[in-house]
């Protein structure tokens, strides 16, 4: 795949232009960061693993009627995507309490939530990606009220699809972060990636709170075997249909 001008470099991916102005090429890096890039490292093979996991999940979501930016993968660590303007909002969906929800509310780790919780964070590293209220989102004109309703509805649908999918892999979907973009037709597409970098995934039925972790928390919390956990997720994801 011909790579042209680099358009953007994020913490986990580089975006390149292609011959077609409506198509970009995303290259998935092995670089890992946490805590707003205060912690940095490399997870060997992560680029390929996350690209393949994300591709599979995007196909699954697309098949169930939600538009995504995914086109195809010309190489194991490369994804062709539709060009979109990324909305600077990180949409988090939670099924089980973990991470910042526990830190900010005192709800115990592992508490099953009565219904999925959808939260909007401001995608802004300089400000530390703060949690926003709906009124703040509108005040800052990050999205219209109608767009927020669409994001919320899509997030709930995507959660439903992913929960069912991971259940078949004997993986429990604790929470995840997604991003959306707007294409040239003003259509909102699911964008960025869905991978162990952006989800909390627990081995179903594993009671040990460290052994069950199959996601980037292994890197964040120095639990070891990060690469093995990512590979285990890929193997389970590919083992289902495909």
Residues that bind ligand TMP (CB under 6 A): 92, 98-101, 129, 175-177, 198-200
Question: Least distance (Å) from ligand TMP to the CB of residue 200?
Answer: 4
Based on CB atoms, which residue is closest to ligand TMP, 18 or 234?
Answer: 234
The set of residues, in sequence order, having a beta carbon less than 8 Å from that of 49 and lying 6+ positions away, is 195, 196, 230, 231, 233, 234
Based on CB atoms, which residue is closest to ligand TMP, 66 or 117?
Answer: 117
Question: Least distance (Å) from ligand TMP to the CB of residue 175?
Answer: 4
Closest to 86 (Cα-Cα) out of 203, 192, 213, 204: 192
Question: Least distance (Å) from ligand TMP to the CB of residue 52?
Answer: 18
Question: Least distance (Å) from ligand TMP to the CB of residue 104?
Answer: 9
Based on CB atoms, which residue is closest to ligand TMP, 84 or 155?
Answer: 155
Based on CB atoms, which residue is closest to ligand TMP, 101 or 158?
Answer: 101
d(CA 192, CA 69): 8
Say if residues 131 and 119 touch (Cβ distance below 8 Å): yes
Which residue(s) pair with 40 in the sheet? 33
Residue 187: which H helix or E strand, with range? none
State which residue has the least CB distance to ligand TMP: 99
């Amino acid at each position: 795949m011909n790579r042209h001008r680099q358009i953007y470099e994020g913490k986990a991916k580089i975006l390149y232009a292609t011959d077609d102005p409506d198509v970009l090429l995303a290259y998935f890096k092995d670089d890992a960061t946490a805590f707003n890039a205060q912690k940095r490292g490399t997870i060997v093979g992560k680029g390929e693993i996350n690209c393949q996991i994300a591709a599979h999940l995007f196909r699954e979501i697309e098949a169930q009627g939600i538009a995504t930016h995914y086109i195809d993968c010309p190489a194991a660590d490369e994804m062709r995507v539709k060009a979109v303007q990324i909305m600077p909002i990180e949409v988090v969906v939670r099924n089980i309490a973990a991470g910042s929800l526990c830190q900010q509310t005192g709800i115990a780790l592992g508490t099953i939530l009565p219904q999925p919780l959808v939260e909007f964070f401001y995608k802004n590293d300089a400000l530390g990606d703060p949690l926003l209220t709906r009124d703040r989102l509108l005040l800052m004109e990050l999205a219209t009220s109608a767009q927020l309703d669409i994001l919320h509805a899509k997030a709930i649908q995507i959660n439903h699809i992913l929960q069912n999918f991971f259940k078949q892999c004997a993986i429990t979907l604790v929470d995840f972060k997604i991003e959306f973009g707007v294409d040239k037709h003003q259509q909102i597409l699911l964008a960025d990636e869905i991978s162990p970098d952006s989800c909390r995934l627990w081995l179903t039925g594993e009671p040990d709170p460290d052994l069950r972790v199959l996601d980037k928390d292994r890197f964040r919390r120095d639990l070891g075997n990060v690469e093995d956990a990512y590979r285990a997720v890929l193997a389970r994801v590919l083992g289902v249909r495909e």
